[in-house]
Structure 1
Amino acid sequence: MELNVIGAKPLSVSDEVFGAELKQALIHQVVVAYQAGGRAGTKAQLSRGEMSGTTKKFKKQKGGGARHGDYRAPIFVGGGVTFAAKPRSFEQKVNRKAYRVAIRSILSELNRQDRLKVVDGFGIEEAKTKAMVAKLAELQVAGRVLLVSEDANEALFLAARNIPYLHVVDVMALNPVSLVGSDYVVLTAEAVKKIEEWLA
């Protein structure tokens, strides 16, 4: 198949990468796993046995209403937590092959919905927000836009950083969450070739 390149001749690409079947369940699994992997997992609470303070029974067993042992019990303000959270990993295992299939599926669906645009280059040589705004207007993209370059330079990052909902990544930093959360994805022709090498 061919992808239209704005301002240049069409680019021949693999059907396997940009014409794959939509697999919503797999995409959901990969997105959830990616987000879970970014969680710190450092939350910690004290259980009843870890609280500081006396363990002395503060009143007699009978004759005073409810029976209590000490003030460290979870029922009291300042007491321990019943099922105390402890530091843990939220990581979910996703096979490399499944991850690549999900990325292919996302890219293919973006292409089918005309939300995937390919350019020969961004042409941003100076770190000027004005130049980036003009480029986006030329490409007719709005909303949440993801720019993917083969080797995003500093000028490109600086030109984009003051524009809301615009993100610049290189091919190595491409991830399912960024792709799914974007209204438009703009790739350079060189980035398309690198993605093909990675996903083919």
Structure 2
Amino acid sequence: MELEVIDRQGKATGKKVTLSADVFGVTPNEHAIWLEVKQYLANQRQGTHKAKERAEVSRTGKKLHRQKGTGGARHGSRRSPIFVGGGTIFGPRPRDYGFKLNKKVKALAKRSILSDRAANGKIKIVEDFVLEAPKTKDYIAFLNAAGVAGKSLFVVDGVENNLYLSARNLPKTFVTEKNQVNIYDLVNADEILISESSLAHLESILK
């Protein structure tokens, strides 16, 4: 697939790039996408939840009443889960929610998303540019010129502080470095903008 490279004003520069069929032309694998999104979200969880069990609650350990002759059930402690203020049965404990996922599956998931967006004309290659100052209106003008209306992800070559600061107040767009691209941002974006200098890197790590 061949795409025109556009500039900051959204105009064609006259340059064209050929997208790798191994990265932008595969048949999307929805299950691989689901697995990697699931792993990404699991890794975001702190897992620090904790509820006190009967051995941990602060209540008297004195036996409530005598064992026999009351006509009621036999009880030995107020810490029992059946009493208000007692311990929690099978309460949550600190744990790690992460799980292993093969590198090939993760790469397939990213290729699947990129291929889906490319097939629907939702990938744009942008000539490298820098913003002179962090101004949100300048970034909005760039998006409008590029014809981007929905949620978007802009993959840039390196740390471009002014670009990042200009975009961070916009809820429907995100700027990320080529080394920080993750499946969640890709899935969330209706349109993906890729800087000309970061395209080769993306193709090399995902083949």
Same fold per superposition (TM over 0.5): yes
Alignment of 1:164-183 (within 5 A): 164-183=171-190
Paired residue for 2:50? 44
The answer (yes or no) to whether the contact 2:50–2:93 under 8 Å persists in 1 is: yes
Letter in 2 for 1:11: V
Paired residue for 2:16? 10
Within the candidate set 34, 37, 58, 1:31 is matched to 37
The answer (yes or no) to whether the contact 1:23–1:105 under 8 Å persists in 2 is: yes
Within the candidate set 137, 142, 155, 2:149 is matched to 142
Alpha-carbon distance change, 106 to 198 in structure 1, aligned in 2, over 3 angstroms: same
Q: Hey, what's the Cα distance between the residues in 2 that align with 1:165 and 1:128?
A: 16
The answer (yes or no) to whether the contact 2:52–2:87 under 8 Å persists in 1 is: yes
Structure 2: which 5+ runs fail to align? 7-11
Within the candidate set 160, 163, 168, 2:167 is matched to 160
Letter in 2 for 1:193: A
Within the candidate set 61, 78, 88, 2:85 is matched to 78
User: 1:68, CA displacement in angstroms?
Assistant: 2.7
SS in 2 for 1:162: coil
Alignment of 1:95-106 (within 5 A): 95-106=102-113
Alignment of 1:110-149 (within 5 A): 110-149=117-156
Q: Hey, what's the Cα distance between the residues in 2 that align with 1:120 and 1:24?
A: 31
Q: Hey, what's the Cα distance between the residues in 1 that align with 2:116 and 2:4?
A: 15
Letter in 1 for 2:33: I
Q: Hey, what's the Cα distance between the residues in 1 that align with 2:143 and 2:20?
A: 27
Q: Hey, what's the Cα distance between the residues in 2 that align with 1:168 and 1:57?
A: 63
Structure 1: which 5+ runs fail to align? none
Q: Hey, what's the Cα distance between the residues in 2 that align with 1:184 and 1:141?
A: 7
Q: Which runs of 4+ in 1 moved over 3 A?
A: 64-67
Letter in 2 for 1:190: S
The answer (yes or no) to whether the contact 2:3–2:125 under 8 Å persists in 1 is: yes
Task: Give the stretch that moved more between structures: 34-43 or 49-58.
Answer: 49-58
SS in 1 for 2:202: helix
Q: Hey, what's the Cα distance between the residues in 1 that align with 2:44 and 2:88?
A: 26
CA RMSD of aligned residues (A): 1.5
Within the candidate set 91, 96, 104, 1:89 is matched to 96
Equivalent pairs: percent with the same residue?
38
Q: Hey, what's the Cα distance between the residues in 2 that align with 1:79 and 1:31?
A: 38
